[in-house]
Structure 1
Amino acid sequence: MALEPNSRGRFNLEKASILMLEANGMGMDILVQIVTGLGAKSLYRCNTVEEAQDVVRQNNIDLIIADALSPAGEGYEFVSWLRSQGGEPNSFAPVVVTAAHTPVSMVQKARDCGAHYIVKKPLTPVVMLERILWIARESRPFIECDAYVGPDRRHKNEGPPDGKPRRRDDLPPEVGLAQEPNMSQDQVDGLFAARKVSL
C-alpha cells in the first residue's frame, strides 16, 4: 500500500498548522523532526490534553497528531472531546493517532473515538507522509450521531459471521482489556483502508 516515490516528493506542509500531542519528550522530538522534514512550520507542541484543548480553542488547526498516551488513554479521550466539543472548524480536523502498542482493541478504540488513522511506533517519515496523503485524498464524509462523531468508519460490509443471525445484540460485551498481540502496521492500515461498500 506504499505510495509512489514521485508523489511523496511533491508534498509540502509549509502552510499547515499542526497540533502534536505527545507526553514523551523524545517522542515529541522525533515527531517534530518528521513534520518539519515535510515542510511544516506552524507547530503547536502539547504535552497534556489540557494544553491541546487550549490550542484547539484559540487556533485553527489543519492536522492533529496525538499519541494514545497509554496506559490511561487520554489521547483517545482528547480526540473524542475534539469531535464532540472542539468547535468548528477544528472538530473536523484530520487526526492521526500514534501508539506504541496496537492490539485490535486499541485500533478499534482509535477508530471509534473519531481518528482517521492510527500509526504504530516507531514512527517513520514515509509512513506519516503516506497517512497524511491518504487523509487528503480519501475525502471520507463525517458522521454525526449520538454515539459517534468522526469520519465514516464503514469500509466494507461483509454481514455477520457465518452461522450468526443478522442481529448481533446477543453477543457478550467486552470485559477488561484484551490480552492479544499487537497488530502489524499493515494489519492496522487494513482496518482503516477505504473500501467500496455494496448496499
Structure 2
Amino acid sequence: MALEPTSRGRFNLEKATILMLDGNGMGMDILVQIVTGLGAKSLHRCQTVDEAKDVVKRNTVDLIIADALSPAGEGYEFVSWLRTDGGEPNAFAPVVVTAAHTPVSMVQKARDCGAHYIVKKPLTPVVMLERILWIARESRPFIECDAYVGPDRRHKNEGPPDGVPRRRDDLPPEVGDAQEPNLSQDQVDGLFSTRKVTL
C-alpha cells in the first residue's frame, strides 16, 4: 500500500545518521543519491561487514541500510550480530535489507536475522522513503529471546501457529467464551442485506 504523496513530501532525514553497507560501488552510489535526496547529511559508507561493525562500535546510528551481499549473505550475518552483540543503542536501530533477488527464503532470512524490511533492487527513492516511513510509524515491539532478537515479526496478531495449542493470553482481552450458539448462514446474510431506514 503506497503512502499519500503529501506525507512523503514532509519527510526529511537531515538530522539522521545513516549507516549504509554495500560492497558494490555502483549500488552504494545509488543508495547515497537516494538518501541524500531525502535530506540525509550524516552518512557512514561501508563496503565490508568489518567496516560496518567498526562504525557501529564508535557511533550512534539512526538507520541502517544493508545489502544482503550475495551470494555469501554477510549482510544477514551483520544484522544478526548487530541485534545480539552490537550494543545499545545501535542494537535496536531500524534496519532495511536490500537484495537483488527476494525469493521467499531470502525474505524469511531477512525477517529472522532481525531486519525490519527487505527491499528488492533496483532501488527507487519512493520505495525507500515508504519503507523508512513505515518503520518510523510502526509500533511493533522489540523481541529479545534465545532464538531471536529484533522487531516483532508479526504484522498481525493471528495467535499461535497451526499445531500450537492456544493460550488464553493469545486472545484479545475483549473476547470471552461464546454465550450463544453460532449464527446460521441466513442470519449472517441478513446482517449484510440492504435495509430501508426512515429518518
Same fold (TM over 0.5): yes
Distance 1:139 1:93 in 2: 14
SS in 2 for 1:31: helix
Distance 2:107 2:95 in 1: 14
Could you say which residue in structure 1 is the equivalent of 2:47? 47
Distance 1:84 1:54 in 2: 15
Distance 1:53 1:132 in 2: 22
Could you say which residue in structure 1 is the equivalent of 2:79? 79
What one-letter code is carried by the residue in structure 1 that aligns with 2:45? R
Could you say which residue in structure 1 is the equivalent of 2:107? 107
How far 1:140 moved relative to its partner? 1.4
Q: Which structure 2 segments of 5+ residues have no match?
A: 173-199
Distance 1:82 1:128 in 2: 21
Identity %: 85
The one-character-per-residue Cα deviations of 1:77-96 (angstroms, maximum 9, x if unpaired) are 00000000000000000000
Whether the aligned pair in 1 keeps the contact of 2:159 and 2:171 (CA below 8 Å) is no
- Determine which structure has more spread, i.e. the larger CA radius of gyration: 2
Distance 1:86 1:27 in 2: 25
How far 1:160 moved relative to its partner? 4.9
How far 1:124 moved relative to its partner? 0.1
How far 1:159 moved relative to its partner? 5.6
Map 1:79-158 → 2, pairs under 5 A: 79-156=79-156, 157=158
Distance 1:76 1:110 in 2: 6
By relative contact order (CA 8 Å, sep 6+), the higher-ranking structure is: 1
SS in 2 for 1:96: strand
User: CA distance change for structure 1 residues 145 and 160 in 2, over 3 Å: closer, same or farther?
Assistant: closer
TM-score by length of 1: 0.81
Could you say which residue in structure 1 is the equivalent of 2:20? 20
SS in 1 for 2:88: coil
